[in-house]
Amino acid sequence: MAIVHDVDLPDDLYEQLQELAIAENNSINAQVITLLRNALSAAQIKKIAEEQRRKNLPKLLEESRRRREQLPTDVEWPDSTALIREDRDR
């Protein structure tokens, strides 16, 4: 097991760590290990979620393109400028 030495913690952070360790019936060492494991797990989960979003992006873009192509082309869409002017005139 690797040993980490000479970590300078601010006093308030050390006190919070100590309080948390006491509340969870852990030593400060065990509490630091638990916090690091939780933080690394959360980071790994976030990384996996980001990779999934990147994998799904081409599918989403293709679906958006297909939906755009399915819109009826013979519909007369109102001019946005006219709609804005009409709204301002109210």
Q: What's residue 75's pLDDT?
A: 80
Q: What's residue 27's pLDDT?
A: 93
Cα Rg of the chain, angstroms: 28
Phi, psi at 23, each rounded to 5°: -65, -35
Q: What is the mean pLDDT of residues 12-22?
A: 93
User: Residues 61, 50: contact at Cβ < 8 Å?
Assistant: no
Residue with token string 């002017």: 85
Query: pLDDT tens digits, residue range 57-89?
Result: 999 999 999 988 888 777 888 889 989 998 998
Q: How far is 86 from 83, CA to CA, in rounded Å?
A: 5
> Is this prediction's pTM over 0.85?
no
Query: pLDDT tens digits, residue range 36-54?
Result: 999 999 999 999 999 998 9
